[in-house]
Structure formats: structure tokens, C-alpha cells
Amino acid sequence: MRRFAIIGHRAPSVGSFNLNDLSGSGGRMDVLARAINAALFISHGIREDTEIIVHLNGDLGFSRRVKFDGRILKGVHPDERSISGHIRSIIGKEMPPIGIYEVISEGISHSGGRLEDTLKEWKEMDLDILILDSGGESNKQWIKDDGLAFVISDDLNFTKEENEILEVYKKISLGSNELQGQACISIIHYILDNQM
Ligand SMILES: C[S@@+](CC[C@H](N)C(=O)[O-])C[C@H]1O[C@@H](n2cnc3c(N)ncnc32)[C@H](O)[C@@H]1O
């Protein structure tokens, strides 16, 4: 499996948002939806080897995580509005406790919690955790068949607090240009698909 975690710094975790205003009232939900698209969708299907956890951090004290699991995902279409619609319906629901993923539909579940909770769970699963950062190492010694988990930010840089939490992990660069998140995910897939 390949795992991605993306941080939605302004994405609402409770209430609702306007599907016609994903970047404004959705707190850059468009960026998160494109990342989900790049992580999970191929031309005529879904990557069954990939999971992405979206961190909705926009409402102080109410961080929620939404997990999309490509192994069993059904009923999601690869467009920003449809993906965002799934997330919008989830944030209207009661927040499950941290670490308890409550199933919403096949391949979609949600839990309370923040980046540090995802990292703790990944460590318990013995995954190799890699932070996507243009200033990181550019060698590809991290490549392997299975058990990789990548952390990526939305359109904002990681916060000071996040950087402190992420300090202990290996940072990898996909080049000196600052890329959009969904492009980084596609490049990771390309590298791992071709083991290059
Ligand atoms: C759009 S960028 C972050 C915002 C950007 N730093 C800014 O100035 O607004 C989104 C994320 O993609 C990842 N990223 C972007 N370019 C990268 C690169 N060249 N190598 C590795 N990761 C990259 C990082 O995780 C970054 O936080």
C-alpha cells in the first residue's frame, strides 16, 4: 500500500461549505479534492494500492480526518465537486473519537484527530514515513515496494507546530520547484510504479 496524508489547514471540519465556493468557504477544498483525485484515480478506475487521509484543520479544536481507501472505494467520481460533496456530507456528522474510524460508505471513513494521530497510527503499522518538502533530500533511496507513507501540505506551508512534529522524519524533495500537491502525488505514483 501507498499512503498519503494531506493537511487542509483551513478546511472546515464541522458544519458545511458552499460547493460553488470550494476555495473560499471550502477552505481550499479544491486543493484537497485534487489531491484525492491524483492519489486514487487512474483513467478508468481506482488505484487499489492507495489510501489518502485528509486532515480537516479549519475549525480550532475540532480536527477531523477523512480516509479514502482505494482497496474498497465505491461511489466516488473523479471530479472536485463530487469529492468535495462527500466531504461536505461528512462534516455535518458527529465527530467520532480520535483513532476510531467510523465507516460512512464503502472505502470512506472518518475519525477525530490531527496529523500527530495519523503519524502515531502509521508508526504502529511500522510504515516508512516521508515528508514531501522541496528542500528535502533528492536522492531516491526511500523507494521500496510497500509500506510507504507520505505527508503533504495543502497550498500553505506546514505550520511551525507541524514542522516541529515532522522534524524527526525524513524529508524528500521532488525538485527545487515548489509544485502543487496533486502534482507531487502523481510524481510519487510515477516513481513507485516504475521503481525509478
Ligand atoms: C503548494 S505546496 C505548499 C505551499 C507553498 N510552499 C507556498 O509557498 O505557498 C504544497 C506541498 O507540496 C509539497 N511539495 C511542493 N513542491 C515540492 C517538491 N518540489 N518536492 C517535494 N514536495 C513538494 C510540500 O509538501 C508542500 O507543502
Map residue 187 onto helix, strand or coil. helix
Q: What are phi and psi of 188, to 5 degrees?
A: -60, -45
The pLDDT, as a whole number, for residue 186 is: 98
Greatest CA separation for the chain: 43
In total, the chain counts a number of residues equal to 196
Where do the domains of the chain lie, and which CATH numbers do they carry? Answer: 2-194 (3.40.1280.10)
* pTM of the model as a whole: 0.97
Residue with cell 516541529: 164
- Spacing of C-alpha 132 from chain mean position: 12
Nearest CA to ligand 1 atom 9: 156
State if residue 191 touches ligand 1 by the CB under 6 angstroms criterion.
no
Q: Cα–Cα distance between 158 and 138 in angstroms, integer?
A: 19
* Distance from the alpha carbon of residue 155 to the mean position of ligand 1, in angstroms: 7
Segment 158-185 shows an average pLDDT of: 97
| pLDDT tens sequence across 70-115 | 999 999 999 999 999 999 999 999 999 999 999 999 999 999 999 9
- Asked if residue 144 has pLDDT above 70, the reply is yes
Amino acid at 90: I
The pLDDT, as a whole number, for residue 60 is: 81
Q: Cα–Cα distance between 5 and 67 in angstroms, integer?
A: 9
